Structure 1
Amino acid sequence: MALIAATGSDDEETAAAAGPRNVIVLIGDGMGYQQIDAASLYRDGTTFGQVTVEPGAADVERSPAQASTVYQEFPVAASVATYPRGGGYDPQAVWDSFPAVTEGFTDSAAAATALATGERTDNGRLGTDAQGNALPNLTEHAAAQGRATGVVTSVPFSHATPAGFVVHQDGRGDYHAIAREMINDSEIDVVMGAGDPDRDVDGRPLPEPDHTYLSAEDHRALVDGETPFTFVNSRDGFRDLATAATTPQRVLGLAPVAATLQYERSGPDRTDAGKPVAGAQPYAAPVNEEVPTLREMTEAALNVLGNASDEGMFLMVEGGAIDWAGHANDLNRLIEEQIAFDDTVAAVTEWVERESSWEETLVVVTADHETGYLNGDGADPGWRPLTGEQGELPAVSWHSTDHTNSLVPLYARGAGAERVEAAATGRDPVRGAYLENIDIPRAVLSLWGRG
C-alpha cells in the first residue's frame, strides 16, 4: 500500500506542533494485511487493495481498495518492518522468493519492546537491551510528564505485548515475575486483560486454580485489596467503569476467564482436544456472555485514564488472540478476533470525537508482526488475493504456523500523525512506503519533546 498524504485542519497542525495530549496505540498481534481482509470479506464482502504478485515480476496487480474499517480511512497509511535486533528486511528479496519471510522474524516480546522503547532487542526480552539493561518505555515517559497510562489486552495481562510496555524482564516466560512487576513495581495506572486463575476457557469456576499467568500470592493480594490497584473482575464491573463519572485512580481489571476473552472457548467448531474444525463458521460457538469484550475493556480504560490526569494519557490496546488464531491456522476464530479488534478501534475513534478531539489526540493502529503467512487460495510460489463473499469463509491458504518477517500495516490519525508519516522513508516494491517499528515510539517521543 502506498503512503497516503496526511491531511488535517490548521488547528490539527498547531496542536501537533505542541505534541499530542493523548496517544493511543492499538496493536493487532499477528495482524497482517491478509488478516484484516479475511475479516473484511466475511463481514462486508470487501477487501482493501489486495495484490497478486509473481516472483520477479515487474508489475503488481492490485484490486480496488474499499475501506471496510474505520482505520483504513485514516489519513496516514504505510507499512512497518518488524524484525528483531540483528535482523533486517530486504524489500526486493521478500518478493523474489515466497519462503523468504519465514526466516528472521521477531517474537512479540522483542516487537513490543521496539514499539514501546524505540530500541530493538533480542527475541524473548521485555524492555531490556541485549545486556539486560532497562530501556525506558512510552508509559514511563508519559508518566514522567504527568500523563495517566494503561495497557489493555484480550490475552493474559502478563503476556508479552502488554508487558513490553510496562516491565523490564530478560525472559518473557516468567509470567509471575512480570505480573508482580506490573502490580508492585510500576507506575502504570490501568492494566486490563485475561488470565483469571479461578476460571476456565468458558469463564466457569475451576475446581483448582491455574496460576500460570498470575501467582497465588499476587492474585490473593488483588482480591483482598492489598495492592495499589482497585480490582475489577466482572463484566458489569468493566461496564460500570466505562460510564462512571468518578473512577478509581488505578485499576487492575481481570476478565473472569482463563487465557483469552473468547478465542479458546469451547464449541462445535472445536474438537474434544480443542483443535479447530476445518470449515467451521465464525461465531459457531456461543460467546462467553459473562466476559467483557475488548471494546468494553478499552472503553473502561479510556474513562479511568481520562479522569485520572489533566495532562492526558498514553494507552496501548492489544488484540492479542489474532496471533493465537494465526499460530493454529484457525480461520473462523481469526475472523472473530480481527472483528473484535476492528470494533475496538472504532470505539477509540468514537471516544476521541466525543471526549477529546483529533487536535489533541494521536491514534496509531499497527501490528507487532504477521502470524501464519496467510495468503489467498493457490498461493506459493506466487502471492494471491483472498477471495470470498459476505457471510462466508474466504478462500485462503496458510504457509506457516509461526510469525513471519512480512511488512505489517500502519494507520494513523490526529495530532502529530504527520511525524509518523515522515518516518516512512523505506520503499517496498509492492507495499510502497514503510518505516521501522522503532520509528513509531521515536516519533511519539519527539512530539513530546523527549526525542
Structure 2
Amino acid sequence: MMTGRRLGATLLLAVLAAPAGAQQAGAASETPRNVIVMIADGSGYNMLASTRYWLGHALTADGPDWRHLSMATYALRLEEQPHGLKQDPALVYDSVKSWDTAPMDGNSGCKTEYPAGFAAYEWNRCTAPDSAGTASAMMTGTRTYNGAIDVDGNAQPVESVAEAAKASGRKVGTLSTVPFSHATPAAAGAAHNASRGNYHEIASEMLSGQTLDFIGGGGNPGYDGAGAPRAAAAADDDAYHWISQADWQAVKDGTSGWTLVEDRAAIQALAASPREGRVLVVPQIAATMQVERPGPAGTDLKTSAPLDTPRLETVPTLPELAMAGLSQLQSPDGLFLMIEGGAVDWGMHANMLGRAIEEYDDFDRAVQAVSDWIEDPATPASWQDTLVIVTADHDHMLTGPDPGEAFDPIENRGAGKLPGHMWWSNSHSNQLVPFFVRGAGAERFVAAADQTDRAVSGGRTYGRGAYLTQPEMGRILKQMMAGRK
C-alpha cells in the first residue's frame, strides 16, 4: 500500500508523464459566449495537495474533462513604480533555477526570519511577483511591475479583458472573498492604477466606470472582522480603508447608480431573483469573508486545523457569491465573470494552513457550483459555449515538514487531519502554478503551453510539464472577447 508520503513524492515527480487531460465530448466553439475565470490567490501545487489530503478526495478540476497545464507568473520587475517596459531578465521563469536542490546554510537573504534551505527556494522567494502585477497580466495580456493594476511598465492604461468583454456586448462582473478594491478583483474589474494601494481611487473607478454590471467582495465599513456592527466611523477611520466615505455614502443612499446588497439571505436570493440594473454585493464583514475571524482565546491559528473555529454565519460562501454573480450577469449576449478565492493568500501569508485549506475548499466548492450551473438545462449556458479557467495568480513557499529534503512533499496524515508541512516564507514564490481549463476554446490555451518545465538536480528529475504564461492567457481571452481566433 502506498503511504501518504510516498504518494506525495510520486505526484511531484510524475507530473511530466501525466496526461494533459481528456478531450471533452461534444463540439465546442473556439470563441465562447460565456467566460468564467476562477483564481485562487496564492494557490500553488502544494496548496492544492494540502486541500486534497484534508478533504480525502480529489478537487473538482482534477477531473478528466479538464485540461491540466501549468502557468508562469513572473513580473516585469519587482520595483513597485513605473520606469520603462524592459523585462528584468533575472525574474524570467527558469526551470534550472526553480528546481536547484543545492543546499544553502543560514537564513534567506530576502526573508531573513526563514532558513534559506536550498538554492531553488531562495531564487523563488527573492524573484516572486505580487497579486496586482500577476492579475493584471492575466487580465490585459501585458506583463507589468509588482503593484500595478492594468497598466504597463510606464503606468499607461492597457485595455483589460473586462473592457473587451463589455465592448462585445457581454455583461461583466468581478467578485472575491477579499475587499472588492483589492488587487485581483480590481484588475478583473477594469480599474487602472499605478499602485494597488490606492484603494479609494480604485473603488471609485470601478463604481463610476461603465464596464461593470456586478461587483462582489468584502470591505464593508459598517462591520468589523468578526462581522459585528461598528459604531459610527469617522472619515479617517480604518473602516474606510477599502472605499472612501463619500463613495460608500453614495452607495448607501442610492445615488451611485448601484443597488447595494449586504445581508447574506438577500445575497442568496439573488441566485433565483436577480435585481434590475447594476448590483454591488458587500457582505457584512470588514475585509475577508472568513479568514480573519477570531479564534477562541489562546488558539494558535498557525497550528489549528480547518474549522477548529466555526465559520461566521452572517457572510456568504464563495459558491453563494458566484451564483449571485452568474444570475445577475446571464444574458443572451454572454458574460465575463472573474471569481476569486482571495483569502487563500491571506491565510498563507499568516502561515495558517488550516485557514488556507478552509478557503481553498470554499473555492473548490465554487468551481463545482459553476460547473453545475453550466450543466443545468435551465441556465443559458453549456460547455459548448462556455469557458472556465481555474488557476492562481502566484504560488507560496510551502513544502512538506522535512527541512533536509528539497521539495519534500506535503505529508498526507489522512482526511480531516492537518497535513504535515513547513513554511519557507510569509510571502510569494516564482514557481509555476496549476492551470485547469474546460469548455469552449480550451484547446487554444493548450496550444499556447509550448514551454516545458523540466530540470535535473541531485540526480532526480523535476518539473511541471507544459506551461503557458500569464500574458498569453490574457491575450487569448481578449481575442475571444473580440470573436477572433
Structure 2 gaps, min length 5: 1-14, 77-86, 101-118, 234-238, 455-462
User: Partners in 2 of 1:396 and 1:91 — Cα distance?
Assistant: 23
Deviates more, 1:71-80 or 1:28-37: 71-80
Match of 1:350 among 363, 368, 372: 372
Q: Partner letter of residue 226 of structure 2?
A: D
Contact 2:302 2:351 in 1 (8 A): no
Contact 2:223 2:284 in 1 (8 A): yes
Structure 1 gaps, min length 5: 47-67
User: Partners in 2 of 1:324 and 1:142 — Cα distance?
Assistant: 29
Question: Structure 2 length normalisation: TM-score?
Answer: 0.83
Write out per-residue CA displacement over residues 324-349 of structure 1, whole angstroms, 9 at most, x where no aligned residue: 11111101101111101111111111
User: Partners in 1 of 2:467 and 2:290 — Cα distance?
Assistant: 33
Does structure 1 residue 293 correspond to structure 2 residue 305? no
Matched position secondary structure for 1:431: strand
Partner of residue 51, structure 1: none
The percentage of counterpart residues that share the same residue type is 40
- Give, in angstroms, the shift of residue 90 of structure 1: 0.3
Match of 1:261 among 289, 294, 316: 289
- Give, in angstroms, the shift of residue 284 of structure 1: 1.3
Contact 2:160 2:478 in 1 (8 A): no
Partner of residue 219, structure 2: 195
- List structure 1 runs of 4+ shifted beyond 6 angstroms: none
The alignment of Structure 1 onto Structure 2 pairs a total of residues equal to: 417
Match of 2:132 among 109, 133, 143: 109
User: Partners in 1 of 2:47 and 2:431 — Cα distance?
Assistant: 12
Partner of residue 236, structure 2: none
Q: Partner letter of residue 473 of structure 2?
A: I
Q: Partner letter of residue 357 of structure 1?
A: S
- Give, in angstroms, the shift of residue 5 of structure 1: 4.7
Partner of residue 431, structure 2: 406
Contact 1:234 1:290 in 2 (8 A): yes
Contact 1:98 1:381 in 2 (8 A): no
Matched position secondary structure for 1:433: strand
Partner of residue 391, structure 1: 416
Residues 154-233 of structure 1: pairs in structure 2 closer than 5 A: 154-165=177-188, 166-209=190-233, 210-233=239-262
User: Partners in 2 of 1:208 and 1:345 — Cα distance?
Assistant: 38
Write out per-residue CA displacement over residues 77-123 of structure 1, whole angstroms, 9 at most, x where no aligned residue: 11110011123000122111332211211111101110100000111
Partner of residue 9, structure 1: 25
Q: Partner letter of residue 254 of structure 1?
A: V
User: Partners in 2 of 1:312 and 1:230 — Cα distance?
Assistant: 22
Match of 1:439 among 446, 469, 472: 472
Does structure 1 residue 426 correspond to structure 2 residue 430? no
Partner of residue 84, structure 2: none
Does structure 1 residue 88 correspond to structure 2 residue 92? yes
Write out per-residue CA displacement over residues 118-167 of structure 1, whole angstroms, 9 at most, x where no aligned residue: 00011111011121211000110000010000001000000000111220
Partner of residue 235, structure 1: 264
User: Partners in 1 of 2:42 and 2:254 — Cα distance?
Assistant: 35
Q: Partner letter of residue 88 of structure 1?
A: V
User: Partners in 2 of 1:316 and 1:253 — Cα distance?
Assistant: 14
User: Partners in 1 of 2:165 and 2:75 — Cα distance?
Assistant: 25
Q: Partner letter of residue 84 of structure 1?
A: A
Q: Partner letter of residue 145 of structure 2?
A: D
Contact 1:243 1:303 in 2 (8 A): yes
Residues 59-98 of structure 1: pairs in structure 2 closer than 5 A: 68-73=58-63, 74-85=65-76, 86=87, 87-96=91-100, 97-98=119-120
Matched position secondary structure for 1:343: helix
Q: Partner letter of residue 476 of structure 2?
A: A
Q: Partner letter of residue 350 of structure 1?
A: D
Partner of residue 57, structure 1: none
Does structure 1 residue 32 correspond to structure 2 residue 44? yes
Matched position secondary structure for 2:328: helix
Question: Structure 1 length normalisation: TM-score?
Answer: 0.90
Does structure 1 residue 277 correspond to structure 2 residue 301? yes
Does structure 1 residue 22 correspond to structure 2 residue 34? yes
User: Partners in 1 of 2:129 and 2:307 — Cα distance?
Assistant: 31
Indicate how the Cα distance of structure 1 residues 323 and 88 shifts in structure 2: closer, same or farther if over 3 A, else same: same
- Give, in angstroms, the shift of residue 408 of structure 1: 0.3
Matched position secondary structure for 2:466: strand
Matched position secondary structure for 2:374: helix
Q: Partner letter of residue 90 of structure 1?
A: D
Partner of residue 55, structure 1: none
Contact 1:39 1:335 in 2 (8 A): yes
- Give, in angstroms, the shift of residue 305 of structure 1: 0.2
Q: Partner letter of residue 223 of structure 1?
A: K
- Give, in angstroms, the shift of residue 268 of structure 1: 2.2
Partner of residue 321, structure 1: 343
Does structure 1 residue 146 correspond to structure 2 residue 164? no
- Give, in angstroms, the shift of residue 187 of structure 1: 1.5
